[in-house]
Amino acid sequence: MTPSYGFNFTGNKVALNFTGTKTDINAALATMQLSTGAAQGAIEFDVTSSLSAANTYYNPINNSYYQYFASPNTTWTAARLAATGKSLYGSTGYLANITTNIENEFTKSYINAQNVWIGASDAAVEGVWRWMDGPEAGIQFWQGSTVASGGFATGPYSFASWATNEPNNNNGREHYGTTNFRGTLGAWNDVQNSSALVQGYLVEYTEPVGGWTPASVSQQVTSAYIGTADGGIGGNGGAGGLGGNGALGGLSGGTASAGGVGGIGGVGGQGGEGGKALPGNGGTGGTGGPGGGGGTSGTGNAGIAGSTGTAGTNGSGTTGGAGGSGGTAGTGGVV
C-alpha cells in the first residue's frame, strides 16, 4: 500500500489516507488497531473507501473530495466554468471554498498542487470577497484590503489565509483568489483573471444529497470505548437455598413431642464479577444474596392413647342382724 500525498505510516494521526489493491486494503483494515494515548471515553472513527481517481484527495474531516487539474495559462473564469462542469461520485464540482483553518491545513499539506485557483472573488464589489459556487455560494468571508489597511475576516466562517500584505488589488485589477502561492503553502493571494503564475485549479466535491454514489464510495462509522475507569458493580448473588426440615418428633404416650429445629438457611450466592474496562480495574463484586430460610420444624406424631382401666368388682353385702326384743310390759295400776 502507498500513503497518499502528505501522509505516512508513522507517528500520531488524526487521519490517514492511502491507496492499494482491494485485497491489501481489506487485509490492513482487518488488523488495524486504534490507540488514543491518554484520551478516554467513547471514540468514533470513520472508514471511507472509494475507487482512486487521478490527482484526487479525500478530506475525512469535512467529508469532501478535492481534485487538482494542472492547466497553465487558464483564466480564473475558464477554470470556474470547467470546475462546475465536472462531477465525481455523484457530486458536481466547483472551485474549492476554503472556509476553516482545518480545511486550509488540508489543502496546504495533503494536496500536491501550488499556484492554483480557488473559488474566491471580489470582482463584483472591490474589497467584498465571496465564495462564488458550491454550498457557500455568495457568502462573504473578507472585507477590505490588507490587514494593515484595515481588512478583516467576516461572515459565518470568519476565516481567511491571505499572505502578508494581501489582498492588495495591485494595479486595481486583482480580483481572483489563489492558494499555495509562490512556494508558501496555505497562503492566499489575489491576482488578475489571467496570470502566468497560476498553474492549475482545485475542484471541490461536497457529499450530495443521498450520499456519495454507492458503487464508488463506502463509508462506515465505527465506535470504541477507551478508558481507565473501573468497571460497573457486579450483580447481587442469588438467595441461598432453604434449610432441611427438622426431624419428626418421637413417639410417646400422651402429648406429642415437639418437632425438630429447622435446618440452617443456605449461604447467599457470591456477588457477580465487576465489569471490565480495559485497561481499567474490574468493578466491585455484587453483595451476596440473603441466606435461605430455615427449614420447617418437624411435627411430632400424636402419642398413643392410654389403655382403658379395668371395671371395678361389685361388693358383696352382709346380711343384717335380727331385730331386737320388745320391751317388758308395764305393771297394772291399783283399784
Residues of the chain with pLDDT under 50: 229, 231, 252-253, 256-257, 272-282, 303, 305-306, 309, 311-312, 315-320, 323, 326-327, 329-335
pLDDT of residue 282: 47
- Provide the whole-model pTM: 0.61
Q: What pLDDT score does 121 carry?
A: 99
C-beta separation of 299 from 246 below 8 A:
no
Helices H / strands E in the chain, number of each: 3, 16
Catalogue all structural domains in the chain, each as residue range(s) with its CATH number: 52-213 (3.10.100.10)
Nearest one of 204, 287, 293, 281 to 246, comparing CA atoms: 293
Phi, psi of 51 (to 5 degrees): -65, 140
Amino acid letter, 133:
D
**pLDDT at residue 264 in the model:** 58
Q: Which of 99, 86, 80 shows the shortest CA–CA distance to 175? A: 80
C-alpha separations of 185 from 55, 106, 174, 191 in Å: 18, 10, 20, 16
Tell me if 264 sits within 8 A of 241, measured CB to CB. no
What integer pLDDT is reported at residue 2 of this predicted model? Answer: 76
103-107 own/partner pairs: CB under 8 Å, 24+ apart: 103/59, 103/61, 103/62, 104/159, 104/161, 104/179, 104/186, 105/186, 106/57, 106/59, 106/61, 106/66, 107/66, 107/179, 107/180, 107/186, 107/202
Instruction: Retrieve residue 118's grid coordinates.
Output: 480557488
Q: What is the pLDDT of residue 288?
A: 56
What pLDDT is recorded for position 334? 39
